[in-house]
Structure 1
Amino acid sequence: MSMELRRETFVLQKLRQSTSRFGQPYTVCELHDSAGQVWPAYAWQRFPHPTLWPDGVEVLATVQERSFGTRQVLDVLAMDLAALSDSVQGKTQPQLPFPEWLVSQATQPRLLRELWVQITLMDDPWLCHFNQRILHDPDISLRWVTIPASRTHHHAEASGLLRHSLEAFRLLSKSPQMSLLEWDIARTALLWHDVGKILTYPGGTRRAAEGFLVPHETATAEVLAWHLAWLRQRAPDLVTALKLHWYPPRHGRPLMPGQIFVEACDRVSAALDSRQQAFQEEPAWRQIGTVEGPGPASRFWRLREG
């Protein structure tokens, strides 16, 4: 038995919260090391993240081995996401592996794989890595790939937010007047323009009070704060550019035309899905369709076929 602290990479399994007989919260999990050994592991505190990380997440943990009856177990003193550790962040050309653990959480895994390919093809390495980091962050991505985009309006099914974000992303074609960097900025802004909704749907499908009272756009930078801080240390102008795409300028017209693309692609994606709902159960001859709320009903007109 070694009483020394060690820090190494494990694959996390069976993470859960528990409570001692004295009422103190603690965390239990299994840690699979690189040699294939499975360690029962305990952290003597409540899990410090809002989301319990799923099976398969790779973690970088500081642990201490001890005896527990006839078994050897690990006490966990610190546990971080291995993909977002300092050793990875320092790369000049940052690339992260595909988060396989996230696929099992999404009801439409094909969309997630398509999105990952599109991200890896981005020209700017920092924006590529910024997007990959967010998908590797369970506190954001687990909810982002599972919640609806709205309660009743558009993309209202499970994983609707993922589908809406990818559909809008596809719509943003590169204009000849845009540089590759401007295109990457606009697509990144579009991809995460609704990420604040993970705070408005904390339980999955039921909207919290914040979702009714506060525009979800105000939460974008709050949700992405850790990753924006990481990006600011490396390319501060990219953070400014993203915020210019998310929030209206103080004076007059947008300072970057990409903001107009972001707004337009968001609205077109929502309108196409709402129109499909409006006519889903209507006879072919009907030309007017309606989708109710929130707010005023959305009405659509269509041409007659033939």
Structure 2
Amino acid sequence: MKASVPTVEHLVPGHVDEAAQTFGVYRVRDYFERAGIGHLVLHHAGQRWEGVVRNPAAATGVRSGTVVEVQFSATLDGPSSICFIRALESGEYQPSQVMPTSWCIDGSDPDRLRTLIERLTTAPFRHWMEAVVDDLVLLKRFFQLKASYKHHHSVAGGLLRHSLECAEITEQTIQSAPACCQTSIDDNLRDAMVLAALFHDFGKTLSHSSESSWLLRKTAHEHLSLVALAAHLPHLASLSVTAHASLVHVLIQDAQRRGFASPLPLVDTIRMADRISAGLWMSRAD
């Protein structure tokens, strides 16, 4: 099921007529009850939106992280009133459509990630990425961490921005370079390269997180990307042995800075994309 997302004007109290009603599918940021009234806080377009549930019994099963379909009436002078709410089961929603956008400093970044997933050309990698972005523990770290402490993308959310830039640069290079060099890239390798670029620094979700053990924080992040993805790799292998092998190989070759030694073409593109993204950030900072 593809989520239906209303426009932001319908989400912000005071931007619509008193009788306006809107329906949509959202990720819950928080739900709590106070004085017999439920308060529902939703992620939307880089913002948080709050509405009230007059009958808390209608919010059975709703908690932080739940995906819900909601109908509400917006008012001009206070929180909007929830007319209908239902918690969705896994399989009733598309995770990439309901990522927790208000965790991000820049609300456009989750949208870039969503469209990157949509551009993947192979079903195993698309299905696998939907499962990855449904892992909210991983996603929160990915969305909020800096890419570095004092170097490039050294702001909250910098890791996601840098990772997206590397994936997009790699994607564009793969589209053009093979024709120039009279070679070809199959769809599986294309997707593996794009996702390896996206996850090349994913080990920082362990090495740069205060929630990690001190020993992981002392471990080179290049060698932790596969560890950070470990819970999801068996699922990828079950979807496609070839896809799994390609992603693991490319991530390892990149971590060792030996893309040039791979039997696969263009693996060094990820290292090039990393340098371009970091260099452009530093040039803007000067």
Q: Deviations over 1:253-273 (max 9, x none)?
A: 112224211111112211221
TM-score after normalising by structure 2: 0.63
Q: Which residue of 1 aligns with 2:278?
A: 270
Instruction: Find 2:104's aligned residue among 87, 106, 124.
Output: 106
**Aligned residue runs from structure 1 range 18-167, under 5 A:** 37-39=58-60, 55-58=64-67, 82-83=89-90, 96-167=94-165
Q: Which runs of 5+ in 1 are unaligned?
A: 1-10, 17-29, 42-53, 60-80, 89-94, 280-306
Q: Which amino acid in structure 2 is aligned with residue 37 of structure 1?
A: A
Are the counterparts in 1 of residues 163 and 197 from structure 2 also a CA contact under 8 Å?
A: yes
Q: Which residue of 2 aligns with 1:232?
A: 237
Q: Which residue of 1 aligns with 2:263?
A: 255
| Residues 163 and 251 (structure 1), Cα distance of their counterparts in 2 relative to 1, 3 Å cut | closer
Q: Which amino acid in structure 2 is aligned with residue 39 of structure 1?
A: T
Q: Which residue of 2 aligns with 1:223?
A: 228
The 4+ residue runs of structure 1 with deviation greater than 6 A are 249-252
Q: Which residue of 1 aligns with 2:84?
A: none
Going by fraction, where is helix more abundant, 1 or 2?
A: 2
Q: Does 1:186 align with 2:193?
A: yes
| Residues 105 and 12 (structure 1), Cα distance of their counterparts in 2 relative to 1, 3 Å cut | closer
* 1: CA distance, partners of 2:283 / 2:216: 24
1:99 Cα deviation after fit: 4.3
1:96 Cα deviation after fit: 2.5
1:251 Cα deviation after fit: 11
Q: Which amino acid in structure 2 is aligned with residue 55 of structure 1?
A: S
Q: Which residue of 1 aligns with 2:18?
A: none
Are the counterparts in 1 of residues 147 and 153 from structure 2 also a CA contact under 8 Å?
A: yes
| Residues 208 and 154 (structure 1), Cα distance of their counterparts in 2 relative to 1, 3 Å cut | farther
* 2: CA distance, partners of 1:189 / 1:82: 30
The percent of aligned pairs where both chains have the same amino acid is 23
* 2: CA distance, partners of 1:245 / 1:96: 27
Q: Which runs of 5+ in 2 are unaligned?
A: 1-26, 33-39, 41-52, 69-87, 179-183
Q: Which amino acid in structure 2 is aligned with residue 271 of structure 1?
A: G
Q: Which amino acid in structure 2 is aligned with residue 181 of structure 1?
A: N
Aligned to 1:226, what secondary structure does the other structure show?
Answer: coil
Q: Which amino acid in structure 1 is aligned with residue 196 of structure 2?
A: A
TM-score after normalising by structure 1: 0.59
| Residues 246 and 211 (structure 1), Cα distance of their counterparts in 2 relative to 1, 3 Å cut | same
* 2: CA distance, partners of 1:106 / 1:251: 32
Q: Which has the higher contact order (CA 8 A, sep 6+)?
A: 2
Are the counterparts in 2 of residues 201 and 208 from structure 1 also a CA contact under 8 Å?
A: no
Q: Deviations over 1:135-156 (max 9, x none)?
A: 1110111110111000001000
Q: Which amino acid in structure 1 is aligned with residue 225 of structure 2?
A: T
Q: Does 1:199 align with 2:206?
A: yes
Q: Which amino acid in structure 2 is aligned with residue 182 of structure 1?
A: L
1:111 Cα deviation after fit: 1.6
Q: Deviations over 1:134-186 (max 9, x none)?
A: 11110111110111000001000010001101111121122332223221110
Are the counterparts in 2 of residues 182 and 258 from structure 1 also a CA contact under 8 Å?
A: no
Query: Which has the larger displacement, 262-271 or 97-106?
Result: 97-106
Which of the two has higher C-alpha Rg?
1
Q: Which residue of 2 aligns with 1:44?
A: none
* 2: CA distance, partners of 1:40 / 1:97: 18
CA RMSD of aligned residues (A): 3.5
1:252 Cα deviation after fit: 7.9
Aligned to 1:37, what secondary structure does the other structure show?
Answer: helix
Are the counterparts in 1 of residues 104 and 143 from structure 2 also a CA contact under 8 Å?
A: yes
